[in-house]
A and B are shown apart, each in its own frame.
Chain A
Amino acid sequence: MDCHNIQEMLSSYIEGVISPEESKLIDEHLSACSKCKEALYDLKKTLEYVQNLEEVEPPEWLTQTVMTRIRSETEPRKGILQKLFYPLYIKLPIEAVAVVLIAVTALYIFKTIQPEIKPAKAPSEETTARIPSREKEEIPSISESKENVIPQSPPLEKGGKRGFEAERALPSKKTETMDKFVELPEAPSPITKQEESRPSAGAVAKDESKNQVLARAPKSKALAESKEEIITLTTNVDDIETAKKEIEKVLIGLGGKIIKTESYKDNNFITADLDSKKAAELIVKLKQIGEVKEKDMDLGSMEGYIEIRIEIVRK
């Protein structure tokens, strides 16, 4: 056996993974061959070097990174869901645009219908505003006559006043009811009274206002300062259709802007924007068309453009 073959087997010889016969052969050869002996020594030394290589430590984040990746990469069950929603995911910008568009449209619609809301509100404000003044004249008489049936009906509306009068009404009531109820809660009784008195007052107001001036400028100056003010003029005319056209012409002539016209069986309404300075002129012109009824028109206190509502009533 030559040196080449021996040296080839040395690697296994070192580890002892070799048959005893081969091992014996090598032993014999090594004792005689210094070249192969040196090769064996070098090989052993090389192994030593390799085995003395220090181990490297894994970074602390390794496990965490691996697990994070596994969790994010291997979710096949969710994958089906994701696939289903994938188209939506792409369309997201489209959806966002749609939402913005809807919002803008909604805002636009809201702004355009706003003038319609105002006239609808106006009557209720009028009635509520009118009631206190009327109450002073009428309600006392009613309540006096019914004093036994309805124990004192305190005037309603106008927060502070109502509360004050309700309080004033209480003592007398208390004395009456003291016998029956030891502790009568204060709140409920005034409220029921208010509600009882409200319809009567409202009814009176309705009756009176039917063919009369509906509106007047709300008394409060604070309201008058706002640029838009709702005024209602009532005009009694013979021919509603022609009157309407004439009023419209007048309004346009005065620089007014007609917002809308409503027509019902007997009543027609024209709502328009008009410079408050021209309001007096309008009334003069309306008087030429028909009979004008207006009450408490405080035109002087108004500024800028106001909203005027003209009611045309058949005579």
Chain B
Amino acid sequence: MREKERTIVNKDAELVSSCKKGNIEAFDVLVKKHQKRMLNIAYRMVGNYEDACEIVQDAFVSAYKSIKNFKEKASISTWLSAIVINLSRNHLKQMKIQRNREAFSIDDPVLTDEGKINVEPGSNELSILEKLEKKDVQQKVQGCINSLDNEFKEVLVLRDIQGFSYDEISDMLKMPEGTVKSRLSRARYALKDCLKKIIGEL
């Protein structure tokens, strides 16, 4: 596993140095490889698929433009994620200013009171009803993530959804690890409170 990871990293490094030499095709490979993860970060950050696609596009374009500034010691994945997080922040700020889109509010009427949903990773065979419920839950969870403040949202997305290490996250967000930990803790509790309100019993 570790060996595999290493080869991927090495390949990334090769691709990056190729990009620095002006090879656009190498960047094409990088985009194909990382677009999914970047899209998921952006999607969880802004909670809207179309906007997330826009952000990822912008992120890759600006990444290509500033690829010469990329230091080889960092991984391209964290570097790209940092760009995506930054653009997502900007997007959310704009959204807040425009107030075009209403954020998911925890005060919204809650439909489900019957919701004892078993989210057991082991159960593969899901009935249609369960699938619908699952989708419903997914939307609720995303709604709660949306309701979080940006600073908590970031750490939650990067750590609990994307699984970046504390080290990587503190590197990306340019803050000490302690801050990451405490923010994450607050984020999790805030999310827990939100989910409890919406779903009921966890």
Chain A residues within 8 Å of B, Cβ to Cβ: 7-12, 17, 41-43, 45-59, 62-63, 65-67, 69-71, 73-74
Contacts and interface: CB of A to CB of B under 8 A. Distances in A.
Contact of A17 (B53, B161, B181): B181
Contacts of B35: 58, 62-63, 66
Interface of B: 24, 27-28, 31-32, 35-36, 39-40, 43-44, 49, 52-53, 56-57, 60-61, 64-65, 119, 121, 137-138, 141-142, 145, 156, 160-161, 166, 181-182, 184-185, 188-189, 191-192, 195-196, 202
A70 B195 contact: no
**7 interchain residue pairs of minimum CB distance:** A11-B185, A45-B202, A46-B192, A66-B60, A58-B39, A50-B160, A58-B35
In this complex, the member of A12, A17, A41, A70 whose beta carbon has the largest number of chain B beta carbons within 10 angstroms is A70
A55 B156 contact: no
A270 to B, nearest CB: 76
Given A49-B119, A49-B141, A62-B31, 20 more contacts: A10-B185, A41-B202, A46-B192, A50-B160, A53-B142, A53-B161, A54-B138, A55-B36, A55-B40, A56-B49, A57-B36, A62-B57, A63-B32, A63-B35, A66-B31, A67-B27, A69-B61, A70-B24, A73-B65, A74-B64
A45 B119 CA distance: 9
B144 to A, nearest CB: 9
Contacts of B160: 47, 50-51
15 contacts: A11-B184, A11-B189, A12-B185, A17-B166, A43-B192, A45-B202, A46-B195, A46-B202, A50-B156, A53-B138, A56-B52, A58-B35, A59-B53, A66-B31, A67-B27
Contacts of A62: 31, 35, 39, 53, 56-57
Contact of B57 (A12, A17, A51, A66): A66
Contacts of B145: 50
A153 to B, nearest CB: 77
Interface SS, B side: helix
B64 to A, nearest CB: 5
Contacts, number: 102
A145 B60 CA distance: 97
A46 B27 CA distance: 37
A11 B191 CA distance: 12
Contacts of B161: 50-51, 53
Contacts of A70: 24, 27, 60-61, 64
A73 B196 contact: no
A66 B57 CA distance: 5
A53 B157 CA distance: 11
Contacts of B184: 11
B121 A56 contact: no
Contact of B181 (A11, A42, A53): A11
A52 B61 contact: no
